[in-house]
Amino acid sequence: MRFCLNVDHIAVLRNARGEVNPDPITFALMAEEYGVDGIVVHLREDRRHINERDVRLLRETVKTKLDLEMAAVQEIIDIACDVKPELATLVPERREELTTEGGLNVIDNIEVISNTIEQLHDADIEVSLFIEPDIEQINTAAEIGADLIEIHTGIYANASSEEEMFDELEKIRIAAKHAKKLGLGVNAGHGLNYLNIKEFTSIEDIDEVSIGQAVIARSVFVGLEKAISEMRALLR
Ligand code: PXP
């Protein structure tokens, strides 16, 4: 399973003082050196962490893969088409949320999402849709030309009982298999950590995980190199 690191939280810390440290660009370069397969950032409409300067500098410096998480809104689409990350992951966005709260409803927003995919494809950017492990959503994602899906793992990660956790894991397994059959690439993320990743790696159809909070938080205690190599070891 490939492992991409989301560095938004480094920008949160930087912005807390309105100064330049810690710099998410330097952090991303170090993460690449320590072996991650890609760097993920979410350029939010409210710019609460990553800003446009970060995205442009990351485009110049990231050598593995840049995955830009974004809402399907014209201002951000224009930036993405100009910056050209390898991958754009479309996510729902609410200003009041602390973090992304769930998957996109592709079925109810089919026109906006199709139009966004078209614009990003015209700029040669692959498109992933962040969705729940739901067969109808996956079918619609494939129909409108998404290249990949990212399965929302928040319900699995935050399950309050083992039964709920295993039920959700099974849903994700079935969804990933179905998406693969339709020719979609399959990523997954949200809330994955050092404790819940082990069961998760039993799902063979998932190509890549996108992890932020758990690895960034651990790096504060043990350093980034160790935090990444510990996660890598669990993903193997
Ligand atoms: N994938 C998506 C689409 C997300 O929005 C996030 C959170 O920014 C993540 C993955 C990573 O989640 P976490 O920080 O909980 O690992």
The residues, any chain, with a CB within 8 Å of residue 201's CB and separated by 6 or more, are: 1, 234, 235, 236
Give the domain ranges of the chain.
2-235
The crossing angle, in degrees rounded to 10, of helices 224-235 and 213-222 is 130
Q: Is the pLDDT of residue 93 over 90?
A: no
Residue 69 appears among annotated catalytic residues: yes
Tell me the pLDDT tens digit for each residue of 53-69.
Answer: 999 999 999 999 999 99
Rounded Cα distance between 143 and 149, Å, is 12
Residue 190 appears among annotated catalytic residues: yes
Q: What percent of the chain lies above the pLDDT cut of 70?
A: 97
Question: 177 C-alpha to center of ligand 1: Å?
Answer: 22
Atom 9 (ligand 1): residue with closest C-alpha?
A: 190
Tell me the pLDDT tens digit for each residue of 94-148.
Answer: 766 676 678 999 999 999 999 999 999 999 999 999 999 999 999 999 999 999 9
Q: Could you count the other beta carbons within 10 Å of the beta carbon of residue 50? A: 25
- Determine which one of 42, 49, 152, 178 is catalytic: 42
Question: 98 C-alpha to center of ligand 1: Å?
Answer: 11
* Fold for the domain defined by 2-235: TIM Barrel (3.20.20)
CA atoms within a 13 Å half-sphere pointing along the CA-CB vector of 5: 31
Question: 219 C-alpha to center of ligand 1: Å?
Answer: 17
